Chains A and B, each alone.
Chain A
Amino acid sequence: MKKIVTIKEKGVYSSKRLGQGLKVEAYFLKYAFPCAFITLQRGAIDLKTYKMLERAAVKGESLPRSMLEKVFAAADRRMDILVKEQGYEKWSMKLVRDYYWKWHDRFIKDGEGSYGFAPEIIKELCRVLPGTVVKVGKETAVVKLKGGKVRPVMTLLVGALKKGDKVMVHYGYACEKL
């Protein structure tokens, strides 16, 4: 990871307004929340904290940066690497977006940190991928992901979707409508 690569602003990756008008903390939480169940399972956060994160993620509310950095310590550490090595500004929308849209996948592929000994299925679910909605249900959607796989997701973080919508997916959640 030596060179800064600018994310293509057109096509499936385009987002009309970066972060959909959310504050950066709220935007980060939309992408980070889907892996909070692992943090809960590890015992690093309690159920009350998990519920609070879920509520804020669904409503698009901001939480204190200090709390987010502590709860999502691995994401924070990896974003700090990008600040240091790639010149991003800490807690900028661009950093959050580029981290989840691009760098996150590279950290997984590189086996950085705990990814080094994660089973394949966790690494697969953990990848943040764009996709197209092929079917919708109540608070759910079925998304055809880049690469061809199909993933059922919850739509609580993005609101109602319709067939053909482009979304970003992390674990079992659509995180952002593009």
Chain B
Amino acid sequence: MCLAIPGKIISKKGKVVVVDYGSEKRKASIIDGSYKVGDFVIVQGKIVVDAVPAEQVKRWHRFLRETSKR
């Protein structure tokens, strides 16, 4: 399964990155695009799907919190 929150890349070895979610860390593969340590990304099914612009990370969390209340 994958976490529906942006995670931060904390290390990179070739095409494999370790993504930190705060509560846990997970590995993911880069199959397209260029990412670097420090980038926020969204991972699905163990691949990095897209980058999340830093200014949208908080909004993503807020979106989840607000929709959880409904």
Seen from chain A, the residues whose Cβ lies within 8 Å of a Cβ on chain B are 34, 37-38, 40-44, 47, 50-51, 54, 114, 117-122, 124-125, 135, 137, 139-140, 142, 150-154, 156, 171-173
Given contacts A119-B59, A140-B31, A171-B44, contact A37 B2 (CB under 8 A): yes
A residues less than 8 Å from B68 (CB atoms): 42-44
**Given A122-B63, A125-B42, A37 contacting B53 (CB threshold 8 A):** no
Q: Is the CB of B45 within 8 A of A172?
A: yes
Task: Tell me, rounded to whole Å, the shortest Cβ–Cβ distance linking A4 to chain B.
Answer: 30
Given A40-B4, A44-B68, A117-B66, A172 and B32 touching (CB < 8 A)?
Answer: no
Interface string of B13-45 (1 = CB under 8 A from A): 000000000000000011111000000001111
Query: Given A44-B68, A150-B32, A119–B56 Cβ distance below 8 Å?
Result: yes
Decide if B9 is an interface residue (CB 8 Å cutoff): no
Closest 5 CB pairs of A and B: A172-B44, A41-B4, A172-B49, A154-B45, A119-B59
Chain B: minimal CB distance from A44 (Å): 7
Q: What residues on A are CB-neighbors of B64 within 8 Å? A: 38, 41-42
